Amino acid sequence: MKIGILGGTFNPVHNGHLHIAAEVRHACVLDQVLFMPACWPPHKELANAVSFTHRLAMVEAAIAHCPAYLASDLEGRRGGRSYSVQTVEELRQFHPDSEFTFIMGLDSFAEIGLWKSYARLFDLCHIAVAARPGFEGDLQRLLPVAVADRFCYDADALKLCGQSGFSVQLVRQTAADVSSTEIRSRLAAGESVNGLIPSVVADYIHQHQLYR
């Protein structure tokens, strides 16, 4: 089975996340996309101190209609800081016959050299980089120096192919980016978030009085 891993704080999950999951699933021919809420993100503060339980519940509500999407509580059960390389290693142990694709935004990929054991990640899974509309750059130039010599560009496949057998693929988004920060600001101000988050997520937020 080909499984995509879409990690993030999901604070809250929004339509942009769902759009990225759909486009990467299509572009990379994935059987399933695993939504992986972070317990404690290592590179940024968790705004509004919304619990893992609430963030996981919002993801579950948002994807309930799509059987190809699944929410995972792996990082919540593990606790502590949520390191992607550790998550992928555990998933490979649980599903040894599956092939994984780690999904990230272009901004995150540009900073991957700051991640814990980031070079190891390139030896564990494929990486799909979702770029905002209008991006015309070169992924190879964004590769950290420590791993750049492991990859070469395959013009036929339109991806960077690594010595380990895993690849880095650019997936161009067709919709404008949605910001969780903007959504939280709108909610705090009592403004509308129609079209930015699924209605079931809006109902959950209202029911539990989050982001006030």
Model confidence at 48, pLDDT cuts 50, 70, 90, reads confident
Model confidence at 45, pLDDT cuts 50, 70, 90, reads low
pLDDT score recorded for residue 47 = 66
Please report, for residues 42, 126, 139, 166, the alpha-carbon distance to residue 89 in angstroms, rounded to integers and kept in the order given: 17, 13, 24, 15
What residue type is assigned to position 118 of the chain? Y
pLDDT score recorded for residue 41 = 80
Q: What is the mean pLDDT of the chain?
A: 93
Q: Kindly provide the b/e burial profile for residues 148-160, where b requires at least 16 CB atoms within 10 angstroms of the residue's own CB.
A: eebbeeeeeeebb
Domain assignments of the chain as residue spans, ordered by start: 2-177
Tokens of 78: 């593990």
Q: Homologous superfamily of 2-177 in CATH?
A: HUPs (3.40.50.620)
* Mean per-residue pLDDT, 131-158: 87
pLDDT score recorded for residue 40 = 86
DSSP 8-state class, residue 198: -
User: Is the model's pLDDT at 58 over the cut of 80?
Assistant: yes
pLDDT (tens digit per residue) in 150-166 = 999 988 878 999 999 99
* Mean per-residue pLDDT, 17-26: 96
pLDDT score recorded for residue 139 = 86
pLDDT score recorded for residue 202 = 97
